[in-house]
Chains A and B, each alone.
Chain A
Amino acid sequence: MNDVMNKPIIIAENLTKQYSGKTVVNKLNLTINEGEIFGLLGPNGAGKSTIILMLLGLTEPASGSVRVAGFNSTKEPIRVKRVTGYLPERLGFYEDMTARQNLRYTADLNSVASSEVEARIRESLEIVGLEKNKNHLVATFSKGMKKRLGIADVLIKKPRLAILDEPTEGLDIKIANQILDNILILNKEKNITFLISSHQLNLIQKICSRVGIMSKGNLIGEGNIDSLDRGLFSAGKYRIEIELSTVDPSIIEKIKTIDTVVEVSEKDNVIEILSGEDVRPQVSRLVIDNNLLLIRMVIKDSSLEDIYLKYFKEE
């Protein structure tokens, strides 16, 4: 994924938004390059959807600016929307119209040449696997089918950038994976840049080249998932956890004397060590020298879970 050209398609600078005095997005700085799949992750209410609305020029920022594909979203929203597809979180279609009629309306609103409309509708529906339901009323569609129709709707305008807000929410895992596969293929074959907002961190991060973690209006971390963990939680340090049969207070003091160890804490016979280096050999020697029984010792790098627990389960 590093071979993608570093041409930014979204540049947000100090983007801020308040709703009735409450800051929903706080001084967001974010650059997304062409060809990326960027995951904007965070719990509900973290400000993700508001960011998206500002990107599309549907909501005006309180301060700061955002440019999409070179256009200022606030001042030239039409030009932004010409190259950007959007799948809203609360997705709705005209239920008394067929899938084809709904897509046709979108095509008309995008001024697609009438000679080309039918071909585009067919192609978009084929990609999401709904070509058999082309002439069915949307009222008969399941939730998963509507989301897929939403992706087809995004594709009608042949976007350079697709912004998907919670594309897999409320779907069973099979359909969700199908949608994620579609996104990967579209990214590779049609070179569409994706910005995906979701609270389903585990599901979405699989396909993202980069993610940003939102919490309470702040972007608290950005990068690929692997680099995020230490950055976010241990400030670049290792976290080692050991469990002993009994804890002798003196052992804690002894561990603290090891070089590079910054912090030691103990709870229920489990000692957590924060250290600049991997100090497992030294720690195990100390344990044995003090005649204590070691039950387990691990380096905690399951940071994804931690991110999840710390930021996503807060509500």
Chain B
Amino acid sequence: MKGALTVFRKEIGDYFSSKIFIILLALIYIAGLGFAYLSIQAIKSAPMSTDQALLVKVFIDEMFFLKLYTVGEINAIMTFNFVRFFGAFIPLIGIMFGFNAINSERNSGNISRILAQPIYRDSLINGKFLAGITTISIMISSIVLIVMGIGLRSIGVPPTSEEILRIFIFIIICVIYGIFWMSLSMLFSVLMRNVAAAILTAIPIWLFLTFFWPFLSPQIANRAIPVPAGATLATQISNVSLTVDLMRISPFILFYESTAAVMDPTLGHLSMRVTDSDLSRMIASPLSISQSLVQIWPQLIAILALAMICFAISYIVFMKQEIRST
């Protein structure tokens, strides 16, 4: 454990002084503050607005504070807000902290020198993993909390204890999601000697699961269960549920559903598909926090399990890999 702590300290130091960390941190801060600004503007203008969508979005429940993270930019096509931005950006952070974890040590020739020191072999991978988790947690929670502070000053409504709890759950989901992507790219760093190969494998997987799979799933479902004009309700339902099941293969969807349930309590019934135009007809009945948690529990556990599986495979492969002379 002592060895892992030493590795941890060094890696943390490396991360915090690396250019890639500073750039990612700057990007996430700029984007976070940008979305907070948009939300604040929207919330402030809402009472005088005639825009139906905005009114519904802001006043559907009383959780004004969460609106800081969920309103963002509203237009006819889609909402783009802080939460959705995180869904797209966190994988990148995770990949950046994992893709060269082991193979760079190998390529630079450091690995045999380090493993010849009196530490257990897993100290290296454990230390790096812990350092990655810590760095990701710091990056995510700092911007979420900064937005919280700014929001407190500018909208003037203090968060309720439930809202604070929801925001913390949101941070935890984000961190777990980040850990999953870090574990996945760390797995590639164990399996592939070439650093470029590792990152060029991780990024397409991220692109595919995040941007392609959600659009592909309905197509697959339509092939499997066609819905002709005048199809029975049962057919339609089974088509939709197959679509949803397929979509949930992507961790992005799991993340999206769980954050939506936590941060948008009114929309939090994951069994219902709600479009923005449905909103105005909905009765405001935000889920209680425990109900939200019940909703997202399977999603959360699934992401966590995926992260653990990736790490476990990396760990086992790393422990079994021969340290060869060449």
Contacts and interface: CB of A to CB of B under 8 A. Distances in A.
B2 A111 contact: yes
A58 B323 contact: yes
Contact of B112 (A90, A108, A110, A157): A90
B290 interface: no
Nearest to A93: B110
B10 A105 contact: yes
Contacts of A58: 112, 115-116, 323
B203 to A, nearest CB: 24
B325 interface: yes
B275 interface: no
Interface residues of A, number: 34
B117 A81 contact: yes
A88 B6 contact: no
A83 B31 CA distance: 52
Interface string B98-111: 00000000001111
A78 B323 contact: no
B112 A86 contact: yes
B106 to A, nearest CB: 9
10 contacts: A19-B322, A78-B118, A84-B116, A88-B112, A90-B112, A93-B108, A105-B10, A109-B119, A110-B118, A157-B118
Contacts of B14: 96
A248 interface: no
B325 A50 contact: yes
B118 A81 contact: yes
A193 B108 CA distance: 28
Contact of A88 (B7, B116, B322): B116
B297 interface: no
Contacts of B215: none
B146 interface: no
Interface in A167-203: none
Interface in B45-70: none
Interface string B282-326: 000000000000000000000000000000000000000011111
A190 B108 CA distance: 31
B281 interface: no
Interface in A83-123: 84-86, 88-96, 105-106, 108-111
Which among B2, B111, B118, B322 has the highest number of chain A CB atoms within 10 Å? B118
A85 B112 CA distance: 12
B197 interface: no
B138 to A, nearest CB: 21
A78 B120 contact: yes
Interface string A33-50: 000000000000000011
A89 B325 contact: yes
A165 interface: yes
B113 interface: yes
Contacts, number: 79
Interface of A: 19, 49-50, 52-53, 56, 58-59, 78-79, 81-82, 84-86, 88-96, 105-106, 108-111, 150, 153, 157, 165
Contact of B117 (A53, A96, A109): A109
Contacts of B120: 78
B145 interface: no
**Chain B interface helix/strand/loop/mixed:** helix
Residues of B in contact with A, size category: 20 to 34
Nearest to B105: A92
A218 to B, nearest CB: 17
A86 B108 contact: no
B296 to A, nearest CB: 41
Contact of B119 (A78, A86, A89, A153): A78
Contact of A94 (B2, B6, B108, B118): B108
Contacts of B108: 92-95
B117 A110 contact: yes
Contacts of B159: none
Contacts of B34: none
7 tightest A-B CB contacts, nearest first? A92-B109, A49-B325, A86-B116, A109-B117, A92-B108, A88-B112, A90-B109
Contacts of B322: 19, 59
A120 B311 CA distance: 37
A86 B110 CA distance: 12
Given A58-B323, A105-B10, A108-B6, A86 B113 contact: yes
Contacts of B216: none
Interface in B77-124: 108-120
A106 B10 CA distance: 11
Interface in B1-48: 2-3, 6-7, 9-10, 14
Contacts of B9: 108
A109 B3 contact: yes
Given A92-B110, A108-B6, 18 more contacts: A49-B325, A52-B325, A56-B116, A81-B118, A86-B113, A86-B116, A88-B112, A88-B325, A89-B325, A90-B325, A92-B109, A94-B108, A95-B108, A105-B6, A106-B117, A108-B9, A109-B7, A110-B118
